Amino acid sequence: MRTAYITHADLIKHDMGDGHPERSSRLYAIQDQLKHQQLWDLLEHIEAPNVEQAALLRVHSQQHLEYIVDNAPGSRQALFQITPDTLMNEHSLDAALKAAGAGTTAVDLIMDKQIENAFCAVRPPGHHAERSKSMGFCFFNNIAVAAAHALEKYTLDRIAIVDFDVHQGNGTQDIFEADDRVLFCSSYEHPLFPFSNRPSIPNKLINTPLKSGSTGAEFRAQVQQHWLPALHAFKPQFIFISAGFDAHWEDDIATLCFQDQDFAWVTQEIIAIARRYSHNRIVSVLEGGYALKALGRSAEQHIRALMQLS
């Protein structure tokens, strides 16, 4: 597989304050692990550009975009607080624009057949950002921007978004809940932020909540029982992954107990679906994962699977 690794040095500059779990060292942890495992030089390295405004407005309101832009702090200004856990420094707007631009760039490269799949190592994350609301460390919904770009620019009829972050992708659900072209599969701990747990809707929304303490075996059973039949029935032309690694047992932001290998397994299952229906088209975008060593290893397992390396 020709796998792209899409990121930008400016994403490191986004900083929400001392002690915040969503920090720049997350990207270093992934990079260091890939280099240690001698995978770094096997990837196609692409620099993320700023996303186009038109791409943002496919999934976000004009009012939301203006709110983020107008409140972005200038040089030497204090952090601007959107919510108690979602703050902007002087570099946050630029980072958010590039985080969203990584996904649209990945879609274009794949549709142009320059690569087969991509991992977007970006921050801030995105899957909690709703159409008109930022929350949960997220400003723009990166995965939704990329998916809408694929739908509109390439006139696709069916795309799937799978989300295995420990928190439910409420923003992605909010944006696409009325769009029959999108199947959304989300696994998450419940009850837990953002405390969203709608029942599943066939060919539309597959929510698979997991109780506190659930292991990778329980996650795999849910994927096999609910996600895979829905994906086979839907036959997606493109698959997007909200790749959160905070369900790992070492991550204390929640209480699920996944192992490194669980992320490799679910990625391999998604690849099998993509091979059958989607011409191998997969864009994966980093969401959560805050225990740095576990994040590095888990992301490596995920990327190794995307590259189809044993």
Amino acid at 72: A
d(C-alpha 142, C-alpha 154), whole Å: 18
Helix (H, G, I), strand (E, B) or coil at 81: strand
* 232 given a catalytic annotation: no
d(C-alpha 69, C-alpha 130), whole Å: 16
Amino acid at 36: H
Token pair belonging to 65: 């975009």
The closest alpha carbon to 286, from 93, 48, 124, 54, belongs to: 124
Token pair belonging to 40: 């770094």
CA atoms within 13 Å, Cβ hemisphere of 235? 3
Choice among 8, 128, 167, 302 that is catalytic = 128
Q: How far is CA 266 from the centre of its chain?
A: 14
Any idea which residues carry the catalytic annotation? 128
